[in-house]
Amino acid sequence: MPVIKTLARAAKQMLQSPGCGCGTSIVPVRFIGASPRQVASDASFHSVSFSDTDHPRVLITGGLGQLGVGLAKLLRKRFGKNNIILSDIRKPPDNVFHSGPFIYSDILDYKNLHEIVVNNRITWLIHYSALLSAVGEANVRLARSVNITGLHNILDIAAEHGLRLFVPSTIGAFGPTSPRNSTPDLCIQRPRTIYGVSKVHAELMGEYYHYRYGLDFRCLRYPGIISADSQPGGGTTDYAVQIFHDAVKTGKFECNLKPDTRLPMMYIDDCLRATLEILEAPTDTLSMRTYNINAMSFTPEELAQEVHKHMPELQVIYNVDAIRQGIADSWPMNFDDSNARNDWGWKHEYDLPELVTTMLNFLGADSRLASTY
Ligand SMILES: NC(=O)c1ccc[n+]([C@@H]2O[C@H](COP(=O)([O-])OP(=O)(O)OC[C@H]3O[C@@H](n4cnc5c(N)ncnc54)[C@H](O)[C@@H]3O)[C@@H](O)[C@H]2O)c1
Ligand SMILES: C[C@@H](O)[C@H](N)C(=O)O
Element containing residue 78 per DSSP (H, E): helix 68-79
Which ligand has its closest atom nearest to the C-alpha of 231? 1
Which pLDDT belongs to residue 215? 98
Give the mutation target among 128, 139, 169, 171 for probing the ligand 2 site: most ligand atoms within 8 A of CB: 171
53 or 84, which is more confident: 84
pTM of the model: 0.91
Residues 140-161 have a mean pLDDT of 98
- Ligand 2 centroid from CA 294, angstroms: 13
Q: How confident is the model at residue 274 (pLDDT cuts 50, 70, 90)?
A: very high
Q: How many CB atoms lie within 10 A of CB 142?
A: 13
Ligand 1 close to Cβ of residue 65 (< 6 A)? yes
Cis amide bond preceding 182, omega within 30? yes
Q: How confident is the model at residue 364 (pLDDT cuts 50, 70, 90)?
A: confident
Q: How far is CA 37 from CA 34, 40, 187, in A?
A: 9, 10, 34
Ligand 1 close to Cβ of residue 170 (< 6 A)? yes
First to last CA, the chain: 84
The closest-lying atom of ligand 2 relative to the alpha carbon of residue 132 is 8
Q: Distance between CA atoms of 248 and 216, rounded to whole angstroms?
A: 43
φ/ψ (deg, to 5) at 146: -65, -45
Which pLDDT belongs to residue 15? 54
Element containing residue 245 per DSSP (H, E): helix 239-249
Q: Distance between CA atoms of 325 and 317, rounded to whole angstroms?
A: 15
3-class state of residue 171 by DSSP: helix
Query: Does some domain include residue 318?
Result: yes
pLDDT tens digits, 278-299: 999 999 999 999 999 999 999 9
3-class state of residue 312 by DSSP: coil
Query: Does some domain include residue 358?
Result: yes
Q: How far is CA 312 from CA 246, 247, 251, 300, 371, in A?
A: 14, 10, 10, 16, 22
3-class state of residue 224 by DSSP: strand
- Ligand 2 centroid from CA 231, angstroms: 12
Query: Does some domain include residue 84?
Result: no
Q: Distance between CA atoms of 217 and 194, rounded to whole angstroms?
A: 22
Q: How far is CA 131 from CA 66, 68, 135, 224, in A?
A: 12, 14, 6, 14
Which pLDDT belongs to residue 32? 56
pLDDT tens digits, 298-351: 999 999 999 999 999 999 999 999 999 999 999 999 999 999 999 999 999 999
Query: Does some domain include residue 28?
Result: no
Give the mutation target among 129, 137, 146, 170 for probing the ligand 2 site: most ligand atoms within 8 A of CB: 170
Q: How far is CA 16 from CA 19, 48, 156, 272, in A?
A: 9, 26, 21, 31
Q: Distance between CA atoms of 191 and 42, rounded to whole angstroms?
A: 38
The residues, any chain, with a CB within 8 Å of residue 109's CB and separated by 6 or more, are none
Domain that holds residue 193: 130-371
Asked if the model's pLDDT at residue 33 lies above 60, the reply is no
Q: How many domains does the chain divide into?
A: 1
Residues 91-113 have a mean pLDDT of 98
354 or 50, which is more confident: 354
Known catalytic residue at 267: no
Asked if the model's pLDDT at residue 370 lies above 80, the reply is no
pLDDT tens digits, 204-226: 999 999 999 999 999 999 999 99
Element containing residue 87 per DSSP (H, E): strand 84-88
Query: Does some domain include residue 103?
Result: no
What CATH number does the domain containing 151 carry? 3.40.50.720
Ligand 1 close to Cβ of residue 237 (< 6 A)? yes
Contact 208, 289 (CB under 8 A): no
Which pLDDT belongs to residue 43? 34
Residues 142-149 have a mean pLDDT of 98
